[in-house]
Structure 1
C-alpha cells in the first residue's frame, strides 16, 4: 500500500493554514516586493567556503530542524514537511535554504504563506510577507513531495529491498530536507518517518517514539546534541536491531539490513570495547547514544553519521574504529571549512591505523609508521598537502599522510604532551568548530620546541619532509628501521593503512 501520511505536527500546521492563501512560487525574474523599507536586506546565498562558496546561507542561525517524511518503498515516493527554527542575525528581507530534493509545494514563515523560488543546484530563496528583524526567532515550514531521486551514495540512496538511506560527504542532507548546509551552523535535529508495516527506521540520537499510522507506523528520532547536515541520516529498511550499552547513560543501538544481519552482528558486538578505548584516548564519549547502521547496498564508503555511522557491506574492524573516532573528530569537533578536513580524517585514520593496533593488539606503533613511510613514495602522498588540499582532493592523502603526520608529531613532543593536548583540544572544542591553524597554535602552546618547520613540512608542504621531521625522537633510531615487525596479512604488507574509502 502506498503511504503518504504527515506527522501529527505537520497535520496541525496544515490545518492552521487552511484559510490562508497558498504560497506562490516566484518566477525567475521576480524581485523582493517588501513595501515601505529599504533597511532589511537579503541574507547571502553562501558563506564563502573556499571550496564550496555557496554552501550555507547568511542572515540567520539555524537552531532546530524538525523533519517529517512519509516514504513508500515500492514507489520511492517521498512526502516531506520540514520545520526550521532559526534566529535572524540581520534585518532580513529574504533568505535562502539549501535544498535539492523533490518539488516544493509551499513555504510558510511564522505561520504565514511566503513567496519562494528555486535557483541553481540547491538554493531555495524565501521572501516572507514581512521583513524579519535582527534578533527575532522565526520558523520556516517547507512542504515538498515527489519521487525521491537515487543519488547512489551522494545523499538519498536506494537499497536492494526498496528502502533508502541518506549518506554523503560533504553534502547529502539537501537531497531530503531543506537546511542551512554548512559546518558552521550546527543545530539540533528531529526526524519523524512514516513507513509501511514491516519496515524499520534508524537515525541519529535517541529513538523517542513509535506510533501507529494508517498502513504503517511513524518512528521518531531526536538528536539533542548539535549536528551538521551531512552528519544527519535516516535509514529505512527491514532492519534487525542490536541493543548494547556503553554506560548507564549511553545506549548503543545498531541496525542491520537483511543481508548484513548475520555477518556483521559479531563485529558490532565489539563496539562497547572500541568506545572504551577511544574514551581513554579522547575523553568521555561526546553524545547521548551510539551504534551503527549496516546497509547492504554496494556503497564505496562508510560514513561517520553522528552517533550511528552508516556502514558499507565491506566494513571491518578498522572501519568501525575509524568511524567511531570521528564521533570526537569531525562530529563533536567539526571543521570550520573544508580546507580543515585533516582535523577529521587525520585523527580518525591515526586512531584506526596506529593507535588501535598499538592499544588493542600490542603492536609497535613506530614499526607501523616506518613500514608505511617506506611505501609512501609508491603512493605519491607528498604532492597533495594535508591542509588546503584543494577542492576535489580533500579526501586523498589525509588517509595515508595524515596518520604519519600525527605519529611524527607525537614522537616530536612526547607522549605525555601529545595525548594531553589531544584530549584538551577535543574537550575545549566539544560541539563546536575548529581549524588546522588553530590546532597548530594549540600544540605549539604546549611545548617549548619551535614546531613551525615541522608543521609547515607536514601540513603545507608538497614534497617529502626533511629527515628531521620524518624521523623525530625514537623514529630516528635507524636500527629500528631495520627491524620493522612483519605485517599481519598480505593486504597489510601492501599498505598498512585504510584505502581512503573509509571516511
Structure 2
C-alpha cells in the first residue's frame, strides 16, 4: 500500500505490506488434544490465524443496505482440509452475532466467542486428519473493526493491513493460509458492489435489490480481499490478451482516463521484469475517504484490483500497487517479518518505471536517497528483515529498502538481478516464501555466495553499510574520495 499525494516523487512513505512454508501445522500440544489452536504463532501477531486446518476456498455471501449502515447479514462457507485431528477448531471473526454454524451440513455441537476475534467451534463429530470439510457460518449485526470504512452516503469499503477480512467474513486470518474467494453480495438496486477477481453474473430480484458476483480463482491472502459498495461509475475494458479490466469510481472522485490508458502499459512493463501477470482480471477501485481525514489518501494492493482511498490515482501508485500483484499477492510472505519481499520491491519498481522514461538512477534517485539519509538520524536504524513487532509497516521498507534493491542490482548485475526476480515468481507463484529464501535464491542465481555480507550490511544491519556495499559497481563514482 502507499499514501498518495499530488507530488510525483517516489520517496514518500507507501504503506502496507504484502511469504514459503505454510504455518498451518498444529502445535504438538493441540495435536494431543484434537484441538486446532487459536493463533499460528506469528512473531508479530501470535493470535492471528488458527492451527489445525488449511483453507482452500471462501464462499462469502453478504447483504447490505447503505440506508441501514449498522447492519450486515453474512453467510460464509469455509472449505478446508484438516492438518490434525480436530475435536474443536477456531475461525477469526470480529463483532457480529453468530446465528448458526454447521460442518458438512450438520449443526455444530457448540460455538462460542473468545477474545477479540476468535470463534471457537466444536463439531458434532471429530474431523479426521486429512479430511476435507466445509464450515458454514451465518451471522449478522454491525460491522466493526478498523478496516470497515463507512463512506459518504452510507457507502462502505473494506481495506486494511494486517487485518481486514475478519471485519466482514470468518477466516483463517494469516497470509500463510491462502485460499480462493467467491463473493455474492446483495444491495439495493441503486448501488454497486466491486470485489476481487473477475465479475460474474449480476441479477435483479425484482423487489428493488441486485445481487453481484465476483470470483477470485487464484489463492489470496485474507488481508488483500475486499468489498466496496457505492454508487460507482464503472468503466470496463480488456488487456491485449483479453483479461477483463474493471475500474470503479465513487461519486465525487476523479475519473481518470489517463490512468486507465496507462494501466495496460504498466502491467506489460512489470511483466517484462517479473514474468506474466498472475491474475485473471485487473483494474482499480477509487473510493471517497473520510471527509474529516487529512488531505491526500492511501492505497492498498487488494488482489487483482488495487483500492485508492481519498485520493487520485497516479502513475507511481499504479506501478507500486501493481508490483504487489506479483510481490505480496501472487507470492506472499510466510509471516509478518517478511514485509521487504513486498514493499522493498514495489517501491523500487517506481524507480524502474522512471528509468524506462530516461531517468539515471545512479545520478538521480540514489544520491537523492543518500542525501535524505543524512537528514534523518534514524534512517538506517531499522532492519529490513524482521524490523520488529509494531514496525512491520516502517518507512525503512520503502526508503532504505528501495536503495537496497538498487545496490543489489549494481552488485550482481542486471542479468542476475532480474533473473532472481523472475525465478522467484516462477518458483513460488500463488504460494508463500520467506526473505531468507530470497537471499538464498539471489546467491544461487548470481553465483555469489559472498552476498551474505551484502545482506548482513543492508538487510540485517542497523547502521550505514560500509562503502563497498553502499557504493557497489557503477555507484562507486558517488563514494567519498577518501574511500575509493
The TM tier, using the shorter chain, reads 0.7 to 0.9
Distance of 2:461 and 2:32 partners within structure 1: 47
Distance of 1:223 and 1:49 partners within structure 2: 26
Runs of 5+ in structure 2 lacking a partner?
A: 1-30
CA offsets, 1:323-356, max 9 Å, x none?
001000000010000000000000000001x111
Q: Which residue of 2 aligns with 1:366?
A: 362
Matched, 1:97 2:58: no
CA contact (8 A) 2:367 2:478 kept: no
Distance of 1:280 and 1:390 partners within structure 2: 34
1:71 aligned to 42, 64, 70, which one? 64
Distance of 2:34 and 2:179 partners within structure 1: 24
**1:480 CA drift (Å):** 11
1:183 aligned to 160, 175, 178, which one? 175
Q: 1:56 to 1:131 in 2, by over 3 A?
A: same
TM-score by length of 1: 0.85
1:307 aligned to 304, 309, 312, which one? 304
Distance of 1:259 and 1:234 partners within structure 2: 19
CA contact (8 A) 2:298 2:310 kept: no
Q: Which residue of 2 aligns with 1:348?
A: 346
**1:73 CA drift (Å):** 0.2
Q: Which residue of 2 aligns with 1:467?
A: 467
CA contact (8 A) 2:185 2:193 kept: yes
1:124 aligned to 100, 119, 127, which one? 119
CA contact (8 A) 1:333 1:433 kept: yes
**1:105 CA drift (Å):** 1.1
Distance of 1:443 and 1:130 partners within structure 2: 48
Distance of 1:358 and 1:39 partners within structure 2: 56
**1:377 CA drift (Å):** 2.8
SS at match of 2:40: coil
CA offsets, 1:62-90, max 9 Å, x none?
11100000001011120000011111111
**1:248 CA drift (Å):** 2.6
Q: Which has the higher relative contact order, 1 or 2, with Cα contacts under 8 A spaced 6 or more apart?
A: 2
2:47 aligned to 46, 54, 65, which one? 54
Aligned residues: 438
Distance of 2:258 and 2:97 partners within structure 1: 42
CA offsets, 1:387-444, max 9 Å, x none?
1001111111101011000000000001111111111111211001111100000001
Q: 1:478 to 1:248 in 2, by over 3 A?
A: closer
Q: Which residue of 1 aligns with 2:246?
A: 253
Distance of 2:168 and 2:111 partners within structure 1: 18
CA offsets, 1:253-300, max 9 Å, x none?
1101011143x3432331111111111111110011111000111474
Q: 1:478 to 1:233 in 2, by over 3 A?
A: closer
CA contact (8 A) 2:233 2:248 kept: yes
Matched, 1:136 2:126: no
SS at match of 1:84: strand
Distance of 2:68 and 2:154 partners within structure 1: 8
Matches within 5 A, 1:267-416: 267-298=259-290, 300-314=297-311, 315-352=313-350, 354-359=351-356, 361-367=357-363, 368-379=365-376, 380-396=378-394, 397-416=396-415
CA contact (8 A) 1:333 1:426 kept: yes
CA contact (8 A) 1:182 1:228 kept: yes
SS at match of 1:259: coil
Q: Which residue of 1 aligns with 2:74?
A: 80
Runs of 5+ in structure 1 lacking a partner?
A: 1-37, 482-503
Q: Which residue of 2 aligns with 1:493?
A: none
CA contact (8 A) 1:40 1:131 kept: no
Q: Alignment RMSD, CA only? A: 1.6
CA offsets, 1:216-254, max 9 Å, x none?
110000100011110100100000111222233411111
Q: 1:469 to 1:130 in 2, by over 3 A?
A: same
**1:102 CA drift (Å):** 1.4
Distance of 1:419 and 1:191 partners within structure 2: 36
SS at match of 1:349: helix
SS at match of 2:154: coil
Structure showing greater Rg: 1
SS at match of 2:182: strand
Matches within 5 A, 1:473-488: 473-478=473-478
TM-score by length of 2: 0.88
CA contact (8 A) 1:155 1:171 kept: yes
**1:39 CA drift (Å):** 7.0
Once the two structures are overlaid, the 10-residue window that deviates more, 219-228 or 98-107, is 98-107
**1:374 CA drift (Å):** 1.6
